[in-house]
Amino acid sequence: MSFAAQFFGCSNPVLVASQKGAAHRGDLWNVSLAFALPKTVEVIIFDFDGTIADTFDAVVEITNSLAEKFGYKPVGLDEIKRLKNLSSREIVKQSKIPTFKLPFLVRQIRAELEDKVHRLTPFLGIQEALVMLKCQGYQLGIVTSNSEQNVVIFLRNYNLNELFDFIYSEITLFGKAKVISRCLAEKRIGPASAIYVGDETRDIEAAKRIQIKVVAVTWGFNSKKALAKQNPDFLIDQPFELIEACKSLRLT
């Protein structure tokens, strides 16, 4: 039995896991399911940046390097702390970036992330939580504005790729509700059976707009205070809390 199965008391389904490399790199989980739980499987859809992968430092570095090109001011540590308490819309408004430039900025950021993807790491505890959720019979997916190539490289680096049933990538900033809706339609997932997990206020806004349950996580970009204002179904501080949150939402 794998460490994850032993740690979380999970023996059904059987998880086959192999340790490859040092634990600090996260090369812990080469996971496959032997069989699924004999009950209705729901779907947990994750945001990628700031929820699974710690891309914060890389994104700040890239964003500051593009400041002159896109006409906004670079941000320092004090300013970043302040911005964490603002909603995504408030941040864009204060940056004074023309709306028509936003898709080009997002596209440029994700293109430059390709050069930094190999140095990105998962948040502490998220790997174990993902393994346990898969063990419990959930389908796992990712909806992101990052590129599918970046996501796949990252997941493979940490032996997490086998845990996910799909990756849906589309460039957007405030159109995430439509992106999630298209993903649900393409994958034939009913909104009532989906749970969305994200770290930004716009993630909560998007989930609420299309009436799917949402878990907000405080280890990403937005502060706990900013996230709480959006009234997510659950607001959690540690990845292991995903287990109980999803279990509770599954029963509602």
Distance between CA atoms of 177 and 1, rounded to whole angstroms?
39
CB 32 within 8 A of CB 3: no
Please state, in angstroms and rounded to a whole number, the distance separating the CA atoms of residues 15 and 35.
9
Question: What is the DSSP secondary structure assignment for residue 172, as one 8-state letter?
Answer: -
DSSP β-ladder status, 121-122 and 234-236: unpaired
Among residues 47, 49, 199, 233, the one annotated as catalytic is 47
Secondary structure (3-state) at 84? coil
- Cite the beta strand spans of 98-244 per DSSP E: 121-122, 139-144, 166-169, 194-198, 213-217, 234-236
The one-character DSSP state at 42 is P
Helix axes 201-209, 176-187, angle to 10 degrees: 50
47: annotated active-site residue: yes
Which residues belong to the active site? 47
